[in-house]
Amino acid sequence: MVELSTGRAKESPLVGHSLPKDYADGLAAAIQSLQLETVEAMGLILHEARLHRRLIFVIGNGGSAASASHLMCDLNKTGRAKDVPLPRVIALTDDMPSITAWANDTAFENVFAEQLENLATAGDVLIAISTSGRSRNIIAALKRAKGLGLSTLGLTGPDGGELKDLVDICLFVQATNTGQIEDAHNAVCHMLVAGLRGNIKW
């Protein structure tokens, strides 16, 4: 540790232990666990969706909601490529009036499924981001998406929960630390954006 007032090094109270290093090592392992062929398959689904002007929906809770918004922003702004249509992406996490209305009037489980009912058409794509794969509103949305004829992609943690059985393509992150799983998901999202920007020249 460094004492800010003098700049002199002080011995850490946890000799031989560094939280930043441990976290960085765990994150590196999480990134190494990614199934890159799965990322490629997801990228091709998104590429086909933009070619046919299909909508791409993204959902998540908490930190995964932030990842959904981030992916939406990146795809709409920088997921552009020459001579192909622009992606059309909606983060269902961002419509707070609809989310609070459905949560208040029915149940929080419905906040994404009911938005899909209004907006989605067969052939569209739903990307579900969930570290546990067990969030009830994510599961409800995936079931509704299947009924509406959407393609479904999932980003999840080490076991995938119920989500893994409800998506067409599932990417697992082999980590137990939620932050590391979320960081790895963000890395995957950036890979997808880079692939679309480069016309899927993986």
| Tens of each residue's pLDDT in the chain, 202 residues | 444 444 554 555 555 668 899 999 999 999 999 999 999 999 999 999 999 999 999 999 999 999 999 999 999 999 888 889 999 999 999 999 999 999 999 999 999 999 999 999 999 999 999 999 999 999 999 999 999 999 999 999 999 999 999 999 999 999 999 999 999 999 999 999 999 998 665 4
C-alpha to C-alpha distance for 54 and 81, rounded to whole angstroms = 16
Contact 151, 2 (CB under 8 A): no
Can you give the pLDDT at residue 198?
Answer: 83
CB neighbours of 111 closer than 8 A, spacing ≥ 6?
92, 98, 99, 102, 103, 137
C-alpha to C-alpha distance for 91 and 148, rounded to whole angstroms = 18
Can you give the pLDDT at residue 200?
Answer: 63
Can you give the pLDDT at residue 79?
Answer: 87
C-alpha to C-alpha distance for 189 and 31, rounded to whole angstroms = 12
Can you give the pLDDT at residue 201?
Answer: 57
C-alpha to C-alpha distance for 69 and 92, rounded to whole angstroms = 8
In whole angstroms, how far apart are CA 192 and each of 116, 122, 169? Answer: 23, 22, 14
Q: What fold does the segment set 19-197 form as a domain?
A: Rossmann fold (3.40.50)
For the CA atoms of 29, 156, 160, 195, what is the dihedral angle to 10 degrees? -90
Task: Identify the sign of the CA torsion 60, 192, 69, 67.
Answer: positive
C-alpha to C-alpha distance for 88 and 93, rounded to whole angstroms = 16
